[in-house]
Amino acid sequence: MKTIFEKDNGVSGILLSDEDVNIDFLKDSFIRKTPLGLPSVSELEALRHYKELSDKNFCIEKGFYPLGSCTMKYNPKVNEMLASLEQFSALHPLSDEDDSQGALELMYKLQEALKVITGMDAVSLQPAAGAQGELTGMMVIKKYFEVKGEQRKKVIIPDSAHGTNPASAHLCGFNIVPVKSDSKGQVDINDLKSIIDSDVAAIMMTNPNTLGIYEENVLEISKLMHDNGSLLYYDGANFNAIMGYTNPKLMGFDVVHLNLHKTFATPHGGGGPGAGPVCVVKELAEYLPSPIVGFDGKSYFKDFDIKHSIGTVKAFWGNFSVLIKAYAYILMMGKNLKEASENAVLNANYLKEKLKGAYLLPYDEPCMHEFVLSGDKQKEFGVSTLNIAKALMDENTHPPTVYFPLIVHEAIMIEPTESETKEVMDEFVDIILKIAEEAKNNPQKLVSAPHSTPVKRIDETTAARHPDLKFVES
């Protein structure tokens, strides 16, 4: 396919008025000396170009998207309509409080809803992603100890954790101490006990963890940590398994971040925009980023009066459009959020039971919203997990998350979400069982997959760092 620059034929899609725009006020050094070099094509050619490009993309509207740890659920289109209402989308972020009461009210009520869902006492909506929420949460923890006059340097993180956890804690200046998982895929309590000392600021946990397994000892862990004067951080990126059933407060956590773009319905295939609100217990409220939206019984206002605030982590209110979608989704679902979790867990367990014969299931436990298989059986025939993932692309199915978590060999991490029907999942079962058969009988076909995509196997690192948009397979 040609790039739009190669399609340039000098035809213009729009007519600009002849009148020059007055740019006298611009400094000479800011004025372009050479033409911008934008391609020129007709409106119809531009539309066809981008439609053709979008057809090459995979999305949830095209097929099953079981990408573990990412919660690729269906995001109702009505959320997009609400987020694009002119009263929201055209509102200037520097508008006076008087002129932005509606937007402030929405954020205030979203804060209140997230308090109920997480059990926490205070919320900052600022962070723009899960990883930024983690960083914010860890900065809160750091400040808490600073104000207390303690110099704790260690953060404990399970070996099954998402890579952003150690990255966030490290960015905050903490030293990472890994804790092992036991044979049930849960934090090894004895290993944890041997690690805890007075230098430990916090533990960062995900529950259900990245194996999709609920940490049965979470209350004991919470007690161990609190008795040691340490705090507990909850990675709530994947909140989809527990909404309405339990919450991080009941589990004994102090700080939580949520990924509104996973659990609360913002499409997130292409890397953003997202929102990673941070929720904390009341003892940590005075460290949150400012401002927070307040309400004095009559009007909504920006509350900058946060005693030990770590400062601002994102301009204005973070990604406001994502907040609108999350609020719309929560209002629309109401108490049915609980049913969404119930179905997400049911769907994951259904798939796990169907697939655990043909594929190795290293931790054969009831799962929550996702589960992790291993491709080790197929590896014996020379077919790797990467080959299986690529073969799925030929079947109009997005590959699951692969090679994560790191503690599972040849990991295949599957998360169907609540939004898929039994029929869709049965179709997926047929496809991935067929691939398991092919691994035995025709491994060559899988090793050379995918066969149907515009490009086949690329060096993914180089492709990300030096994208060659015209790359054609030789």
Ligand X SMILES: *Cc1c(COP(=O)(O)O)cnc(C)c1O
Instruction: Report the candidate in 216, 268, 217 with the shortest Cα–Cα distance to residue 238.
Output: 268
What single-letter DSSP state applies at residue 156? Answer: E
For residues 159 and 178, give the distance between their C-alpha atoms in angstroms, rounded to a whole number: 6
Angle between helices 337-355 and 320-333 (to 10 degrees): 90
Judged by beta carbon, residue 163 or residue 357, the one nearer ligand X is: 163
Shortest Cβ distance from residue 267 to ligand X (Å)? 13
- Output the smallest distance, CB 373 to ligand X, in A: 18
Q: Is the peptide bond before 277 cis (omega within 30 degrees of 0)?
A: no
Distance in Å, CB of 187 to ligand X, minimum? 15
CA angle 126, 268, 93 (to 5 degrees): 35
Which residue in 131, 328, 360, 372 binds ligand X (CB under 6 A)? 131
Per CB under 6 A, which region of 125-133, 176-184, 214-222, 438-446 contacts ligand X?
125-133
Closest separation between CB of residue 225 and ligand X, Å?
20
Please identify, using beta-carbon distances, which residue of 163 and 382 lies nearer to ligand X: 163
* Residue 423 beta carbon to ligand X: minimum distance, rounded to whole angstroms: 27
Nearer Cβ to ligand X (15/315)? 315
Candidates 66, 130, 289, 416; binder of ligand X (CB under 6 A) is 130
Closest CA to 211 of 260, 160, 158: 160
Q: Give the shortest CB-450-to-ligand X separation in angstroms.
A: 25
* Footprint (CB under 6 A) of ligand X, residues 262-321: 274, 276
Query: Residue 177 to residues 100, 194, 198, 290: CA-CA distances in angstroms?
Result: 45, 11, 13, 31
Specify the residue, 203 or 306, whose C-beta has the smaller distance to ligand X. 203
Q: Distance between CA atoms of 107 and 314, rounded to whole angstroms? A: 15
Residues 221-240 that bind ligand X (CB under 6 A): 235, 237-238
Q: How far is the CB of 455 from ligand X (least distance, A)?
A: 25
Stretch that binds ligand X, among 128-136, 221-229, 303-311, 466-474 (CB under 6 A): 128-136
- The reply to whether omega before 127 is within 30° of 0 (cis) is no
- For residues 373 and 354, what is the distance between their CA atoms, to the nearest angstrom? 12
SS3 content of the chain, % helix, strand, coil (to 5): 40, 10, 50
Regarding 259 and contact with ligand X (CB under 6 A), the answer is yes
DSSP secondary structure of 364-381 = -S--SS-EEEE-HHHHTT
Q: How far is CA 355 from CA 178, 272, 306, 388, 454, in A?
A: 31, 32, 51, 14, 30
Can you tell me the distance from the alpha carbon of 77 to that of 206, in angstroms, rounded to the nearest whole number? 30
Task: Pick the closer one to ligand X by CB: 239 or 327.
Answer: 239
Question: At its nearest, how many Å lie between ligand X and the CB of residue 131?
Answer: 3
Tell whether residue 196 is a contact of ligand X (CB under 6 A).
Answer: no
Count of residues of this chain found to bind ligand X when the rule CB under 6 A is applied: 14
- CB-nearer residue toward ligand X: 69 or 186: 69
Determine if 69 is a binding residue for ligand X (CB under 6 A): yes
Q: Which amino acid is at 165?
A: N
Question: Cβ of residue 322: shortest distance to ligand X, in angstroms?
Answer: 11
Q: Give the angle subtended at the CA of 103 by the CAs of 326 and 295, to the nearest 5°.
A: 100
Q: Give the nearer residue to ligand X in terms of CB position, either 131 or 326.
A: 131
Q: Which amino acid makes up residue 236?
A: G
Which residue is closest to ligand X by CB?
130
Site residues for ligand X, 365-424, by CB under 6 A, read none
Query: Of 79, 100, 164, 263, which one interacts with ligand X (CB under 6 A)?
Result: 164
When the beta carbons of 162 and 398 are compared against ligand X, the nearer one is: 162
Least Å distance between CB 129 and ligand X?
Answer: 4
Q: Specify the 3-state DSSP secondary structure of 169.
A: helix
Q: Which of 162, 325, 369, 390 binds ligand X (CB under 6 A)?
A: 162
Where do contacts with ligand X occur on this chain (CB under 6 A)? 69, 129-131, 162, 164, 206, 210, 235, 237-238, 259, 274, 276
